[in-house]
Structure 1
């Protein structure tokens, strides 16, 4: 009776072992499989936002200053005043230079008369010396007199040109068409060379410089449309087009709107052309929204190149 009972026990144990092996084999693939990695959000799946500011195109914002030192006699323009290229905007006192110019012109005229006389005397004695009537020493003296007269005339003429240039530079001209943004000097002040007097901007040549985080650089496409918004204009936005993407990143100029964002990140200063008239002011801060890279950016870029 013990042998059949032992056989039954062994069969039960073997069955349990088989079940355990089967269970372990079913669990092993699940445990060894790598955890599923969530699919990352692609760069082209969302909009990109950046802070920006309104700026002028190169050459459309100039600081007008003095080329020579002197006393500021008058400033002919005020802030917000429109000026034309070549218009006189300020004048330095040049009374001393004008008086000196009169004297220098008189000296130049006198030197010119002396040169004419010396030239005539030399011309008269040259044939006489050739004929043996006049001595060589006398001819050399007339030649020397002419050279001295010529040197005096050249010095006098150089002085005249110097004074004329200084008087001309005492009249300060606007180098561009534009509007006076700031005026920092008043009549009666003594100013040195290269002293700034005015800032003039051509406000018809404005665009936006957006500071795009360097990690978002791949989302910026030349010719793509953007949306521009600014505080003080709730519910309003304006269209722009990306017209320039720099080849290098640089430090951030604008402090981020969000307090938690780092201020030491590097950015791509993307230039955006305004596609419609706006009330935005020079140096005004704006928010720029770039479309997803999978949007119509390539088509916009192609049309912009045409």
Structure 2
């Protein structure tokens, strides 16, 4: 299996955790790396230096003990400011800088950052030149296929990126106006890959090992990027990795293992953010882990009332212990 390189780093296996705001914090990145991701990209950090020393930004820029290479995503619209942000993050442990031109969020796009930048190709060129010139680490770029259905200019942006010295390009197979709806356009990604000599990463709707293999085959890409499908299913990385390496399929994790992975994840969130922040942030992850499981909605209603880490862990352990034992969970009315 041909491996992918980003600068000096070999990315193996060739399955990458996508940057997701509010999700891909250090506890989740470390967990996904342990479960088979070849690279994990941090959630988006702002290029605005006024916010670098806030508690939220300090957490987002924390890479102590994180498996190399640490990839940090930055977003913004001003070339010089983006260059400063890249330098600042490299000084604080980033080994790869990723530029966000893929986020469709209104909060980001209304500031002309994220995928809105794709409307202004000369500005894209200036930003990429500035960031690549500012740091000695590899710089990667994440884009969409375009701004709107009649504005699919990803190939033009991809050519600009390659000539600017971008080390690898991730393409989400949707236009910005699609947000996360519709079906990912793998043909567009394939066309981009055919034109470039730098590594291209396919992103969008990759939710299983079989889908990852078929997208790689269809697009000719060097790696796949998994986002929403990893929420509550971090073991998807080892499933994809195993399938790409062997053609076989791993069985899903046992309930015992799901419980143990989840409890360890909760403890890491509590340790990283402290209380009550870790308890609050853990709630969305708990919802993802129990989606589709018996009495999941009732469990969420109770566990979301837990005010402290110990209560959250206890309710979660009791719920999964009951599932493992094959009995209906006895959920208290309050945690």
Range into which the TM-score falls when normalised by the shorter chain = under 0.3
The structure with the largest alpha-carbon Rg is 1
With CA pairs under 8 Å and 6+ residues apart, which has the higher RCO, 1 or 2?
A: 1
